Structure 1
């Protein structure tokens, strides 16, 4: 049985993709067939993240034209050096006028050209925006987990919901982030048996803090070209996650879907999906 066949045979009735980029890669030019495949695989809601000013309005349009797409908008650490002087005002205008989350934002200390001070300034400005508008936040973090915990711990007030997406930290840090109020989202990296770090960490996440995501079009499951990922492959993540946790796939699917709807309840897609 190939990957597509196993998706359709999985029988998972209710899945939420907590993080994807439907505006990027092959998905931008072949979105509607990909959405049909996702729905056929049981994905009822997809949370699409903008990453820079150049894609915010396009991503916002996806949410407006598709009831099962909810939207977050943010300045990703990869694009901090390219930001315009008015980036924060532009982002705040969109957040104020639309029921969107804040994301994808974060810290990335794995970049070749390090700009840690700028990253932190941009990150904290967006966290303050999320606090002010009471929006959920989706956070990217690479090789900066300790620093991220310190920054969040020092905030006088935090956003109502925070997610570490495509979690790549240690299992020891899982309870640290949960205590700070984080949800932790698991991607297809766990389908690679050599990735013992991710496979160990995903077992440590509390049931009420667990999310699943495709992070499409990147980080595809084993057997799929790395940059050809799509939301329809989410059942493969759930199947492996359930096996590692010693749980039934349908239980993991239902729990993570409920968690995601709670997380994104202020967003139009989340409200629509919950009705």
Structure 2
């Protein structure tokens, strides 16, 4: 059984066939998923999914691209939702220097606030990091994120950065890019990550794995990620499925 630790099944790309997409996940052996709500619009739709399906859990947080939209009271809203039995992490949070949608100082403030909340309520965090490796690591250290740990979502950094994140207690999660022929660095990093810190994901509807690259991604494709991870690690897919599912259950506190 597979665990997709990061998906966006509430995205508008699924509005026409969401139930069929979720059914394909179950048929394909995906036993559990974490849907990620990351702003004012997607947090409520994520909660709706988590409440409707017993195998879908929720992560809630404020995405760095949307940091500028965070208002007074939103942090308290996230904190209140974290009391819900289906909410298992705060995320996705972090820094994004690729899309120029929120000033860096605002991103830093919102990132720090949410790490602080996670430490206060003892909940793992899901990190979005795009072209901001140095600052992400620095802020995680300064805000003592090692106290809660979490996931480096869709990891794309170097092994040197990965080692720092592992030392802080984080898991590294890999998605569709490890199936790409030219994705040398993620494959090299995955090969070195300890099995007990490895997770898999889709980030659907984005980052579709080969051979469906260019089309809409969906959580059932996490099997393709597992197959690629198994090949890189030199084990069979059943071993990858067993270990990554157990890692996710333990990290999220799902019984």
Question: Is 1:74–1:102's contact at 8 Å kept on the other side of the alignment?
Answer: yes
Match of 1:246 in 2: 234
Cα RMSD (Å): 1.6
CA contact (8 A) 1:48 1:70 kept: yes
Matched, 1:30 2:22: no
SS in 1 for 2:182: coil
Counterparts of 1:45-64 in structure 2, within 5 Å, are 45-64=32-51
Partner SS, residue 214 of structure 1: coil
| Structure 1 residue 160 displacement after superposition | 2.5
Whole-Å separation in 1 of the counterparts to 2:216 and 2:72: 34
Aligned to 1:232: 220
Give the C-alpha shift of residue 54 in structure 1.
1.6
- Give the 3-state SS of the residue equivalent to 2:165 in structure 1: helix
Q: What is the rounded CA distance, in whole Å, between the counterparts of 1:129 and 1:30 in structure 2?
A: 36
1:88 matched to which residue of 2? 75
Q: Indicate yes or no: 2:201 matched with 1:213.
A: yes
Seen in structure 2, the aligned counterparts of structure 1 residues 89 and 114 have a Cα distance that, compared at 3 Å, is closer
What is the rounded CA distance, in whole Å, between the counterparts of 1:20 and 1:117 in structure 2?
28
CA gap of 1:157–1:184, structure 2 versus 1, over 3 A, is closer
User: Does structure 2 conserve the Cα–Cα contact (< 8 Å) formed by 1:22 and 1:28?
Assistant: no
Point out 4+ residue stretches in structure 1 off by more than 3 angstroms.
96-99, 156-159
The Cα offsets for residues 153-185 of structure 1, whole Å up to 9 and x where unpaired, read as 223464423100100101222211100111000
Q: Is the 8 A contact 1:168 1:197 kept in 2?
A: yes
Q: Is structure 2 residue 26 aligned with structure 1 residue 39?
A: yes
- 2:141 matched to 1:165? no
In 2, are the aligned partners of 1:220 and 1:229 still within 8 Å (CA)?
yes
Q: Map Cα deviations across residues 186-224 of structure 1 (whole Å, 9 max, x no partner).
A: 001011111111111111211110000011010001222
For 1:69, the equivalent position in structure 2 comes to 56
**CA distance in structure 2 between the partners assigned to 1:131 and 1:48 by the alignment:** 21
In structure 1, the gaps of 5 or more residues are 1-13
Name the structure 1 match of 2:177. Answer: 189
Write the distance in 1 (CA, Å) between the matches of 2:34 and 2:144: 28
Q: Any residues of structure 2 matched to 1:112-151 within 5 Å, and which?
A: 112-113=100-101, 115-151=103-139
Q: Is the 8 A contact 2:146 2:168 kept in 1?
A: no
CA distance in 1, matches of 2:118, 2:133: 20
